[in-house]
Chain A
Amino acid sequence: MTALIVSISVHELCQYEGLSEQIVIEVVDHGIAEPIAGADVADWVFDPTSVHWLQKAVRLHNQLEIDWVAVAMVIDLLQRNEALERQRQCLERQLGRFLE
Chain B
Amino acid sequence: MDFKDYYEILGVAPDADNKAIKTAYRKLARKYHPDMNSDKGAEDKFKEVAEAYEVLKNTERRAEYDELRRYGGRTGGGFEPPPGWQSSSGAGGAESSYFEGDFSDFFNSIFSGGGGSRQQRPGMRGQDAEIEMPVFLEETLAETSKRVEYRIPVYKNGQVSEIKKSLDVKIPPGVRDGERIRLRGQGGAGQGEGPSGDLYLHVRLVPHPLFDVEAHNLVLTVPLAPWEAALGTKVTVPTLSGKINLTIAPNSQSGQRLRIKGKGLPTKAGSGDLFALLKVVMPSKSDDEVNALWQSLADKAGFDPREQWGKQS
Contacts and interface: CB of A to CB of B under 8 A. Distances in A.
Interface of A: 1-6, 8, 16, 18, 48-49, 51-52, 55-56, 59-60, 62-65, 74, 78, 82-83, 86, 89-90, 93-94, 97-98
Interface residues of B, number: 42
Contacts of B35: 56, 59-60, 78
B183 A2 contact: yes
Contacts of B255: 98
Q: Which applies to chain B's interface (DSSP): helix, strand, loop or mixed?
A: mixed
B125 A5 contact: no
B98 A1 contact: no
Q: Which 6 A/B pairs are nearest by Cβ-Cβ distance? A: A48-B182, A97-B221, A5-B182, A48-B180, A62-B97, A49-B180
Nearest to A57: B35
Contacts of B180: 48-49, 51-52
B129 interface: no
Q: Which applies to chain A's interface (DSSP): helix, strand, loop or mixed?
A: helix
The listed residue with most B CB atoms (<10 A of its CB), out of A48, A78, A82, is A48
Given A56-B35, A97-B279, 19 more contacts: A1-B168, A3-B183, A3-B184, A5-B184, A6-B172, A16-B125, A18-B125, A48-B180, A48-B181, A49-B178, A59-B33, A60-B33, A60-B35, A63-B46, A64-B29, A82-B178, A94-B219, A97-B212, A98-B279
The listed residue with most B CB atoms (<10 A of its CB), out of A5, A6, A48, A63, is A63
A2 B186 contact: yes
26 contacts: A1-B170, A2-B168, A2-B183, A3-B183, A4-B170, A5-B183, A16-B125, A16-B198, A48-B180, A48-B200, A49-B179, A49-B180, A59-B35, A62-B98, A63-B33, A65-B26, A78-B35, A86-B177, A86-B178, A90-B212, A90-B213, A93-B207, A94-B221, A97-B212, A98-B255, A98-B277
Interface string B176-213: 01111111101000000001011010000001000011
Given A60-B35, A62-B98, A4 B181 contact: yes
A8 B178 contact: no
Contacts of B46: 63
